[in-house]
């Protein structure tokens, strides 16, 4: 399948990065650290995309550690494991932030860099959800799925916002800055207290707040993970509404219909209508095989986000379909029949059942997602590299000072 049509390739040369970061932490702490310290650790010969990929390698190492020590997401790990997760994530954030500075100082900025950066971030989203769930001992269940929903929606809406406004906008509180730093603190603190079991204590009781009569019993007994869900929900709603307002304003300013842009949220809404229904009908997957299923769901989102970025770079129509959703449609249809027979009195038999074949189906979906998204990544990288006459992980044409002046003369 061709993801970039030949007549759209010239649009790649019109690309110009546009971003706005309202974060005070980024402006006064992180950016000076990156600009004055970190960037000087990388040689001029190192390609920006290689920096991005190296940073992602730290997250992969963290994930492999998770699979070894806490594959069920509900067990305490040795303290050094959590510390390594904190270090790995901080290094990922640092490398991910510095690649843009490296691109500018080596004069290698271009559309491939934005695609590569966003593509790696999209994959990291699902991996980091699993690492966070393992840190908080959320286990395989609805809390982990809600965390994935919030992370995926944030990333999808941010990319949808960038497509319509032509500017990557990060708010005062954003996932790439404050969100990641908060996770680093959580991982480091979990190492300090000795395990994820700590987060299942009552938050108010942990702070020594007396159980006053006006505090309902269930509120007082809320543990740290439940308060995190509340805080995450508030931030999610705030950022989503803000992005929607940005998109509608940008389209109105261009004389376009604002509500048409909202149709771009349909692929995400469709997927996340089917996902909880499927897991409700298949509790065995929810409670025993959630990790591979989260991988599959993460790739659904990564594939959608990747295609949105390509449409943004080539100024093409917004992609409103996602072929990776169709296996999920079948899974829901297959599982719905027996449920209807049991609760309504009519339905149809399941071809997959609730045990071995259903687990095999989840892994088949994961394999399909890896194949489809992998083909997308490879096809797009080769298409951009061939047209722009560049290499992906190395610098094909090093910048030579004064070269541009000679070309002009």
Residue 22 annotated in active site? no
Cβ atoms of residues 145 and 279 within 8 Å = yes
Distance (Å, rounded) from C-alpha 332 to C-alpha 46?
47
Q: Token digits for 223?
A: 């543990």
The residue from 22, 118, 211, 312 that is catalytic is: 118
For residue 294, the tally of other CB atoms under 10 A from its CB is: 24
Could you tell me which of 2, 103, 13, 119 has the C-alpha nearest to residue 388? 13
Helices 111-135 & 180-193 angle (0-180, nearest 10): 30
Q: Report in angstroms the alpha-carbon separations of 174 from 21, 187, 210, 241, 302.
A: 9, 19, 33, 14, 19
Q: Which residue has the tokens 């909880």?
A: 276
Q: What is the 3-state secondary structure (H, E, C) of the chain?
A: CCCCCHHHHHHHHHCCCCEEECCHHHHHHHHHHHHHCHHHHCCCCCCHHHHHHHHHHHHHHHHHHHHHHCCCCCCCCCHHHHHHHHHHHHHHHHHHHHHHHHHHHCCCCCHHHHHHHHHHHHHHHHHHHHHHHHHCCCCCCHHHHHHHHHHHHHHHHHHHHHHHHCCEEECCCCHHHHHHHHHHHHHHHHHHHCCHHHHHCEHHHHCCCCCCCCCCHHHHCCEHHHHHHHHHHHHHHHHHHHHHHHHHHHHHHCCCCHHHHHHHHHHHHHHHHHHHHHHHHCHHHHHHCHHHHHHHHHHHHHHHHHHHHHHHHHCCCCCCCCHHHHHHHHHHHHHHHHHHHHHCCCCCCCCCCCCHHHHHHHHHHHHHHHHHHHHHHHHHHHHHHHHHCCCCCCCCCCCCCCHHHHHHC
Catalytic residue numbers read 118
């Amino acid at each position: 399948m061709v993801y970039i049509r030949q007549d759209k390739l010239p649009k790649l040369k019109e690309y110009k990065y546009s971003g706005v970061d309202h974060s005070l932490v980024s402006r006064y702490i992180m950016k000076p650290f990156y600009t004055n310290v970190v960037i000087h650790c990388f040689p001029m010969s190192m390609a920006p995309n290689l920096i991005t990929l190296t940073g992602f390698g730290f997250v992969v190492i963290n994930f492999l550690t998770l699979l070894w020590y806490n594959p069920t997401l509900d067990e305490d790990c040795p303290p050094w494991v959590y510390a390594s997760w904190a270090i790995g994530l901080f290094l990922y954030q640092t490398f991910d932030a510095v690649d843009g500075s490296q691109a500018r100082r080596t004069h290698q900025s271009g559309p491939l860099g934005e695609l590569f950066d966003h593509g790696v971030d999209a994959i990291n989203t699902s991996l980091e959800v699993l690492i966070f769930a393992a840190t908080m001992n959320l286990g395989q269940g609805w809390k982990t799925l809600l965390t994935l929903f919030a992370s995926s929606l944030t990333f999808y809406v941010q990319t949808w916002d960038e497509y319509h406004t032509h500017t990557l906008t990060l708010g005062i509180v954003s996932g790439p800055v404050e969100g990641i730093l908060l996770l680093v603190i959580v991982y480091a603190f979990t190492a300090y207290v000795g395990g994820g079991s700590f987060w299942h204590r009552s938050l108010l009781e942990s702070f020594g707040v007396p159980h006053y009569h006006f505090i309902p019993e269930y509120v007082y007994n809320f543990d740290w993970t439940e308060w995190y869900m509340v805080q995450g929900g508030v931030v999610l709603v705030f950022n989503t509404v803000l992005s929607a307002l940005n998109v509608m304003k940008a389209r109105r300013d261009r004389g376009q219909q604002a509500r048409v842009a909202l149709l771009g949220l349909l692929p995400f809404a469709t997927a996340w209508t089917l996902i909880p229904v499927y897991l409700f009908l298949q509790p065995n997957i929810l409670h025993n095989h959630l990790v591979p299923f989260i991988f599959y769901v993460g790739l659904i989102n990564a594939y959608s986000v990747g295609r949105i970025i390509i449409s943004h770079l080539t100024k093409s129509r917004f992609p409103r379909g996602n072929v990776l959703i169709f296996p999920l449609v079948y899974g829901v249809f297959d599982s719905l029949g027996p449920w209807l027979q049991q609760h309504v009195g009519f339905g149809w038999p399941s071809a997959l059942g609730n045990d071995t074949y259903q687990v095999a189906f989840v892994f088949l979906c994961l394999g399909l997602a890896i194949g489809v998204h992998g083909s997308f990544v490879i096809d797009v990288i080769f298409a951009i590299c061939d047209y722009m006459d560049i290499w992906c992980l190395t610098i094909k044409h090093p910048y030579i000072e004064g070269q541009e002046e000679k070309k002009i003369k």
